[in-house]
Amino acid sequence: MTRERVRHDLVELLKDAREDWDHSVTVTDNTGIFNELGFESIDAVGLSSALEGHFEQALPFPEFMSKAKEQNLKDITVGQLLDFLMQNLESSAERKVA
């Protein structure tokens, strides 16, 4: 999967995770999912499940969130989430090839 395809799918899943999605918001890699998109912890849990279902594999999302908290990040950006997905989807693809 290309980064652009994963990004597109991620943005669609973000929209689906929020019933009150503001369609006027332009989502960039710098968009914060909590501060700008209005996600709450429970939304992140739902997003985690949606990502795993969509990409048909387990993802270490709790570890990703814990690491962000340890780093005292004020928010998690779409770009950071995309990097996480690409890293984990690539490593999964490499395991399947091996």
Ordered by start, the domain boundaries in the chain are 3-97
pLDDT digits (tens, 9 = 90+) for 59-84: 999 999 999 989 998 899 999 999 99
CA distance 55 to 72: 28
Q: pLDDT confidence of 36, banded at 50, 70, 90? A: very high
pTM here is: 0.86
- According to DSSP, the residues that pair with 32 across neighbouring strands are 77
Sign of the dihedral through C-alpha 14, 18, 19, 21 = negative
Select from 95, 82, 58, 79 the least CA-distant residue to 6: 82
Is the pLDDT reported for residue 96 higher than 70?
no
Select from 97, 98, 20, 91 the least CA-distant residue to 55: 91
- Write the CATH number of the domain with boundaries 3-97: 1.10.1200.10
